Amino acid sequence: MSPRHAPTEALLDEADASLLDLVDNVLTKGVIIDGEVMLGLAGVDLVYLRLTAILCAADRIKKYLG
């Protein structure tokens, strides 16, 4: 049986703050069965980068809104 790779691209355009934890927990943590790694680390790092940028931008906006 050959491992399959699930794409992460679909997540990138739907990023929000709560998604950071979903990506962190569900896509990069948890038991890996039979040594199989399903998702490329580079793709996950890209998701992190986008999410953290959005989180920080949201914080700056909130600061001005009071």
Partner 1 sequence: MSRFYVYAILGEPPATPLGSGISAEPLTLLTSSDLVVAVGVMDEPPVATREAVLGHDAVVRRLAEGSTAILPTRFGMVHEASVLVDWLATAADGLRDALRLVTGREQMTLHVFEVEGAVEGAAVEAPDDSDAGTATGPGARYLTQRRRQRREATLPELAPLRSRLDGLIAAERIERRTTPPFRASVYHLVERGRSAAYRDAVESHRDLVRGVRLRVSGPWAPYAFAPEAVA
Residues that bind partner 1 (CB under 8 A): 1, 4-8, 10-11, 14, 19-36, 38-39, 45, 48-49, 52, 55-56, 59
Radius of gyration of the chain (CA): 15
CB of 30 to partner 1, least distance (A): 4
* Spatial CB neighbours of 27, under 8 Å, sequence gap ≥ 6: 8, 39, 44, 47
From the CB of 34, what's the least distance to partner 1, in Å?
A: 5
For partner 1, the closer of residues 36 and 66 by Cβ is 36
Rounded distance between C-alpha atoms, residue 12 and residue 27, angstroms: 13
CB of 41 to partner 1, least distance (A): 11
**Tokens representing 1?**
């049986």
